[in-house]
């Protein structure tokens, strides 16, 4: 049994070891950035150009983890997109823990650097695609396990690393969920996604759910000069033509009305009022060609909505459709030609009880590393979704806390503060030591 003085001695040795090998972790990050691992399902990319990149990055990562004595395996549901599972075997009596990180990135954008896969250092910052989201998290995972191995710690429970594919497009069925369904179950999960936006290594136990969907409104094409006959009193109205933009605005206003209702009806004690929104992101309307002299006969809005823990996606979907159909029942054209919904992605909310043993253990580890300012700091909602949701969907508590700034994730000039990596590694190593030891 580990006593408090023993624990402090071990943690001090871990901290010193992390400091000694932090340069190696930075080099690993540079190596990982140099392997293009764009999610091949990202909008606007040619899938065949990027199949295999995630696997190559995971195989590079595996060589570093194998050197630490970790058992290596792969779970590959879709060819060329292999998840990495690495396990540091424990003595067998303790609880298990997974460090989870997604190896896929978004597509590159035009930025300040010609090659987004060549890491560039400027002071304490390292620039490169995936540096913040979330290959710095991988470097921290490696550094945490390296320190445990160097100090000679033998955990009682198994320590896993799940380096997964598909997170950027919520393809959890071939990523995190596939790993869990393959039998790599754990008692808790720690996800080092970027959480250092303003405050050091914020820790989250919850995140909203979200859904992506479109609403298509049909019109009736006509010549632009017929507009007065279609909309003025005494004209032929809908028999002349129906501008889908006009009807789309009607639907938009109904959706906005529902969003305002949600400001009151959708609530959660950890979220600010009005946190759950229905965001219109794309509007497309035309008659098959982009030309103003026609009544457009189709208008499509693409939305992303967020909803609180405790609500289910099917419930949210039904609520949105019922509200819009009820509003459209008041319009003669839309009553006969109701909008068409397409729901094409949803991400379940994340929630682990802040009073749960694992959440308190991880939070105490973070606070012990971050210093006096964090003595009373609690968990907060995450700024974005993560694969923590899919551990929690299987009853596994999870927290999210890691190096990197969410505000520069997915940005053209993505970067990470290198000083955050050893701090994250200290938090993760302490969490493993306190959770996995009897």
Element (H, E) at 300: strand 298-307
What percentage of the chain reaches a pLDDT higher than 70?
97
Shared domain for 380 and 233, answered yes or no, is no
pLDDT (tens digit per residue) in 212-259: 999 999 999 999 999 999 999 999 999 999 999 999 999 999 999 999
Q: Are residues 106 and 252 in the same domain?
A: no
For residue 5, the model assigns a pLDDT of 64
Residue 383's pLDDT is 81
- Order of strands across the sheet that contains 415-417: 120-122, 125-127, 415-417
Could you tell me if 106 and 233 lie in one domain?
no
Q: 49 to each of 107, 300, 380, how far by Cα in Å? A: 11, 29, 38
Domain endpoint, select from 314, 347, 380:
347
Q: Is the domain of 172 the same as that of 248?
A: no
Residues 143 and 234 in one domain: no
DSSP SS3 for 198: coil
Outline where DSSP puts E strands in 130-277. Answer: 159-164, 189-191, 204-207, 209-218
From CA 120, how far away is CA 122, in angstroms rounded?
A: 7
Q: Which domain holds residue 75?
A: 4-207+349-436
pLDDT at 371: 73
Tens digits of per-residue pLDDT, 85-141?
999 999 988 999 999 999 999 999 888 888 999 999 999 999 999 999 999 999 999
Residues 93 and 196 in one domain: yes
Q: Are residues 45 and 113 in the same domain?
A: yes
- Tens digits of residue pLDDT in 295-306: 999 999 999 999
Do 31 and 98 sit in the same domain of this protein? yes
As a whole number of angstroms, the distance between CA 163 and CA 175 comes to 9
162 lies in the same domain as 44: yes
The count of structural domains within the chain is 2
Tell me the pTM. 0.90
Asked whether residue 27 falls in the same domain as residue 171, the answer is yes
Cα separation, 105 vs 272, whole angstroms: 30
Provide φ and ψ at 278, rounded to 5°. -125, 100
The arrangement of strands across the sheet holding 298-307 comes to 278-286, 298-307, 209-218, 340-347
* CATH code, 91: 3.40.630.10
> Which pLDDT tens digit goes with each residue over 154-203?
999 999 999 999 999 989 999 999 999 999 999 999 999 999 887 778 99
Indicate whether 337 and 373 sit together in one domain.
Answer: no
Q: What is the mean pLDDT of the chain?
A: 94
Domain boundary among 317, 347, 377: 347
d(CA 167, CA 175): 7
List the CATH number of the domain containing 254.
Answer: 3.30.70.360
What was the pLDDT predicted at 199?
A: 72
Kindly report, residue by residue over 377-427, the tens digit of the pLDDT.
789 999 889 999 999 999 999 999 999 998 899 989 999 999 999 999 999
Q: How far apart are CA 101 and CA 37, in angstroms?
A: 13
Residue 65 pLDDT grade (very low, low, confident, very high; cuts 50, 70, 90): very high
Q: Are residues 387 and 432 in the same domain?
A: yes
Note the pLDDT tens digit of each residue in 320-340.
999 999 999 999 999 999 999
């Amino acid at each position: 049994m580990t006593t408090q003085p023993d624990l402090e001695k071990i943690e001090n040795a871990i901290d010193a070891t992390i400091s000694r090998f932090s340069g190696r972790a930075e080099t690993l990050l540079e190596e990982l950035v140099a392997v293009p691992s764009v999610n091949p399902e990202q909008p606007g990319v040619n899938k065949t150009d990027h199949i295999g990149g995630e696997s190559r990055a995971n195989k590079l990562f595996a060589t570093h983890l194998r050197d630490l004595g970790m058992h290596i395996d792969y779970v590959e549901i879709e060819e060329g997109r292999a998840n990495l599972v690495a396990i540091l075997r424990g003595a067998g009596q303790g609880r298990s823990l997974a460090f989870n990180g997604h190896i896929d990135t978004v597509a590159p954008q035009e930025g300040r650097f010609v090659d987004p896969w060549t890491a560039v250092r400027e002071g304490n910052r390292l620039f490169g695609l995936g540096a913040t989201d979330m290959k710095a998290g991988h470097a921290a995972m490696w550094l945490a396990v390296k320190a445990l191995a160097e100090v000679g710690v033998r955990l009682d429970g198994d320590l896993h690393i799940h380096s997964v594919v598909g997170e950027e497009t919520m393809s959890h069925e071939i990523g995190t969920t596939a790993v869990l369904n393959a039998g790599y179950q754990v008692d808790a999960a720690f996800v080092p996604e970027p959480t250092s936006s303003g405050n050091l290594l914020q820790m989250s136990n919850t995140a909203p759910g979200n859904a992506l969907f479109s609403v298509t409104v049909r019109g009736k094409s006509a010549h632009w000069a017929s507009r007065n006959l279609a909309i003025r009193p005494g004209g032929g109205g809908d028999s002349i033509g129906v501008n889908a933009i006009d009807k789309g605005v009607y639907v938009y206003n109904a959706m906005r009305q529902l969003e305002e209702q949600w400001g009151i009806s959708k609530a959660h004690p950890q979220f600010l009022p009005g946190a759950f929104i229905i965001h219109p992101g794309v509007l497309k309307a035309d008659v098959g060609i982009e030309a103003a002299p026609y009544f457009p006969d189709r208008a499509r809005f693409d939305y992303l909505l967020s909803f609180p823990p405790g609500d289910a996606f099917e419930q949210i979907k039904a609520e949105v459709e019922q509200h819009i159909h009820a509003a459209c029942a008041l319009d003669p054209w839309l009553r006969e030609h109701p909008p068409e919904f397409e729901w094409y992605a949803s991400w379940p909310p994340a929630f682990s009880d802040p009073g749960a043993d694992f959440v308190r253990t991880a939070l105490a580890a973070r606070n012990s590393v971050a210093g006096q300012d964090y003595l009373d700091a609690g968990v907060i909602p995450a700024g974005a979704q993560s694969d923590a949701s899919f551990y929690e969907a299987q009853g596994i508590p999870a927290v999210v806390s890691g190096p990197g700034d969410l505000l520069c994730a997915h940005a053209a000039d993505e970067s990470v503060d290198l000083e955050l990596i050893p701090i994250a590694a200290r938090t993760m190593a302490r969490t493993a030591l306190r959770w996995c030891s009897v």
